[in-house]
Amino acid sequence: MSVLIIAEAGVNHNGEKDKAFALIDVAAAAGADAVKFQTFNAERLAAMTAPKAAYQNRTTDASQSQLEMLKQLELPLEWHKELQAHAAERGIQFISTAFDLESLAFLEVLNLPFYKIPSGEITNGPLLLAFARTGKKVVLSTGMATLGEIEQALAILAWGYVERESPPNLEKIWQHWSTPRAGKAIAEKVSLLHCTSQYPTAMEEVNLRAIDALWSSFGLPVGYSDHTQGLLVPIAAVARGAQIIEKHFTLDRGLPGPDHKASLEPQELSQMVEGIRSIETALGDARKRPQLSEWDSRAAARQQIVAVLPIHSGEEITAAHLGTARAGAGESPVYLWDLIGTKATRNYSVGDTLER
């Protein structure tokens, strides 16, 4: 199965329609499978008192509130259908992340192929339930989360996929989580993304081995949402077993906004996609056997049993008679000991290969 590459446009359109269209063009040209935006109503998402993250203060006006920042980064609802149509024309899937119930209801009208649940909403029970109620597959990002919080999110999603009524309480959700139906729904519908929610992420906080931990803990497909600078880590994540890669990209890293500095520029996005596809090919199918091109090398590189002294027919063969050399054909040296003490069935000159 090919790695799903999601080019995360996010809010890097900076509220400008032409930039949003240009981001789709860049993602399609790079060969990504999907281009992802973010759909939210700033006033529903953040209160006036909500602080900004430290990285947001570094990359935007520190005197500006989170709400003021988000209002500048909204993707107007009336743009969505045009952007979706443009993505279809360019041969790339259009998806968007909903951060509130109303935005999710709006996206449902667009009939997106799947939903990405952002890390910040992993404890948002009502929104998780609404995502599951759509019946669509989801990719759940796990930045900032503990294993317990991830399991709780999966339990809520399972309830939403299986049960029609609202859960009376969290205990009932956990009881439902114990049922085979819950596990089956999650196995069919959910993938996880390892993620570190810091922009940019320092190498010592990437922790790619957490991909293994997520897989062993939940048995679900696991990918990686990358916020490091550059393209090395997402390519390494594929080598580690990531089945989905999500990476922010921008038209220009010098643009103002919270995510540009941790994003790839167009040429780098293309290089990342090319690197991932190369690693996919190089990973192969896990079967250890000679490759087709190696059969010629086997004949040229492996040694066989040869006579290093003349041997006469009927003479007893000793260790002194035998050696090994590349001869192109003949007996493998692992059988050299079997020949010692036997009688030669013919004459051998120096350099001749011996047969058993």
Alpha-carbon separation of residue 215 from 128, 234, 321 (angstroms): 21, 17, 57
**Mean pLDDT (whole number) for 166-184:** 97
Cβ atoms < 10 Å from Cβ of 115: 21
Task: Tell me if the pTM is above 0.85.
Answer: yes
Q: Rounded to an integer, what is the distance from CA 248 to the centroid of its chain?
A: 14
For residues 116 and 225, give the distance between their C-alpha atoms in angstroms, rounded to a whole number. 11
pLDDT at 41: 76
pLDDT tens digits, 92-112:
999 999 999 999 999 999 999
Residue 162: is its pLDDT beyond 70? yes
Q: Which residues of 164-181 are buried (b: 16+ CB within 10 A; e: fewer)?
A: eeebeeeeebbebbeeee
pLDDT at 274: 98
Least confident of 50-64, 227-241, 274-288: 50-64
pLDDT tens digits, 302-312:
999 999 999 99
Q: Give me the percent of the chain exceeding a pLDDT of 90.
A: 86
For residues 288 and 128, give the distance between their C-alpha atoms in angstroms, rounded to a whole number. 42
pLDDT tens digits, 27-61:
999 999 999 999 987 777 666 777 867 777 677 76
The phi, psi pair for 34, rounded to 5°, reads -145, 150
Residue 67: is its pLDDT beyond 90? no
pLDDT at 52: 64
pLDDT at 35: 98
For residues 326 and 330, give the distance between their C-alpha atoms in angstroms, rounded to a whole number. 9
Residue 173: is its pLDDT beyond 90? yes
Which residues have a Cβ under 8 Å from the Cβ of 167 and sit 6 or more positions away? 129, 156, 159, 173, 176
Q: Could you tell me the domains of the chain? A: 4-283 (3.20.20.70), 289-356 (3.90.1210.10)
The pairing of strands 244-248 and 322-325 is unpaired
Q: What is the mean pLDDT of the chain?
A: 94
